Structure 1
Amino acid sequence: MKILLPVDGTELSLHETRFALQLLREGLKASFVLANVQEPATFYEIVTAQSPELIEGAAMEAGEDLMAPAARLLDEAGVPYEAAVVSGDPAQAMLELIEIHRCDMVVMGSRALGPIRRLLEGGSVSQRVVQGSSVPVLLVTPPAAD
């Protein structure tokens, strides 16, 4: 089984990674596609950049930095994974990664957005992935505050 594990460098994404590793400790046999989605460059950035390659390189480097803590957890556990940093709309990019990497499942976090914010943002990323995914999506809720 191949699992898409989108991460963004937050504590919640580390919580998701730990949860996914727990699934393996419980007997699931899987590898991962560790993914980070970067915002596309703004029109201003494109127009003022010395080189489009610089913008793309900075986005890839930022994505790799944000994936590093989760990658460290997977490395320490000896779990195989592929890494992917892409640019674009987060939900759409994840749906494309599912197809490109032939993932069987997605494990991702779910933040509780309020109704106004959800309306303004067009729905949460996790909600849009659940609705558009061709594979099961397991939503990991944030850990309870102590």
Structure 2
Amino acid sequence: MKILVPVDGSAESLAAVHHALQLVRDGLRATLLLANVQEPASLYELLRVHDADAIESIAREAGEHLLQQAVALCSAAGVDHELEVARGEPAHALLDIAEDEGCSMIVLGARGRGETAGGRLGSVAHALLHDARMPVTVVRTSV
């Protein structure tokens, strides 16, 4: 079984990593796919840099940096894991990753702060709950 765990470097995403690791410690035979999605380059970045490869390299490095804590947690726990850094709109990119990589479930943190149902979850969590074809676990942290 492969579990997709989106990681953006926030405390909420690291709580999701802890939750997924606990599932494995409790006996679930799974590997984790730690994924970070970088937003597409802005018009300013495209005009300023003029080099698509450089922009891609910067985005990849930023994504890998944001995954470092999650990688350290998985390594310390002895849990097999893979990394994916993607570009695009986060919810759509994560759904594509989950399907392309054959993930059986998604475990993610909720960052929402708004008053509406979707706002309390966060837009990415809300979209994944509605559109994913596999189970989605949303890990809430105390406010």
After TM superposition, the score normalised by the length of structure 1 is 0.90
Say whether the 8 Å CA contact 1:113–1:124 is kept in structure 2.
no
Name the CA distance, whole Å, in 1 between partners of 2:100 and 2:78.
Answer: 24
Say whether the 8 Å CA contact 1:3–1:107 is kept in structure 2.
yes
Q: How does 1:98-117 map to 2 (within 5 A)?
A: 98-115=98-115
Aligned residues: 141
Name the CA distance, whole Å, in 2 between partners of 1:112 and 1:86.
Answer: 22
Q: Which residue number in structure 1 is paired with residue 24 of structure 2?
A: 24
Name the CA distance, whole Å, in 1 between partners of 2:39 and 2:53.
Answer: 15
- The one-letter code sitting in structure 1 at the alignment partner of 2:102 is R
Name the CA distance, whole Å, in 1 between partners of 2:132 and 2:19.
Answer: 20
Say whether the 8 Å CA contact 1:38–1:85 is kept in structure 2.
yes
Greater CA deviation, 131-140 or 43-52? 43-52
- The one-letter code sitting in structure 2 at the alignment partner of 1:131 is H
CA deviation digits over 1:34-71, x for unaligned, max 9? 00000110112112214111111000000000000000
* 1:129 positional shift: 0.7
Q: How does 1:35-50 map to 2 (within 5 A)?
A: 35-50=35-50
Say whether the 8 Å CA contact 1:5–1:106 is kept in structure 2.
yes
**Unpaired segments of 5 or more residues in structure 2?**
none
- The one-letter code sitting in structure 1 at the alignment partner of 2:137 is L
Cα RMSD of the aligned pairs, angstroms, is: 1.7
Q: Which residue number in structure 2 is paired with residue 89 of structure 1?
A: 89
CA deviation digits over 1:98-124, x for unaligned, max 9? 1110100000011333147x57xxx71
Regions of 4+ moved over 4 Å: none
Q: Percent identity?
A: 44
**Unpaired segments of 5 or more residues in structure 1?**
none
Say whether the 8 Å CA contact 2:64–2:85 is kept in structure 1.
yes
Q: How does 1:1-146 map to 2 (within 5 A)?
A: 1-115=1-115, 124-142=123-141, 144=142
Name the CA distance, whole Å, in 2 between partners of 1:96 and 1:50.
Answer: 28
Say whether the 8 Å CA contact 1:8–1:66 is kept in structure 2.
yes
After TM superposition, the score normalised by the length of structure 2 is 0.92
Say whether the 8 Å CA contact 2:13–2:110 is kept in structure 1.
no
Say whether the 8 Å CA contact 2:14–2:109 is kept in structure 1.
no
Say whether the 8 Å CA contact 2:31–2:81 is kept in structure 1.
yes
The verdict on how the C-alpha distance between 1:138 and 1:46 changes in structure 2, with shifts beyond 3 A counting, is same
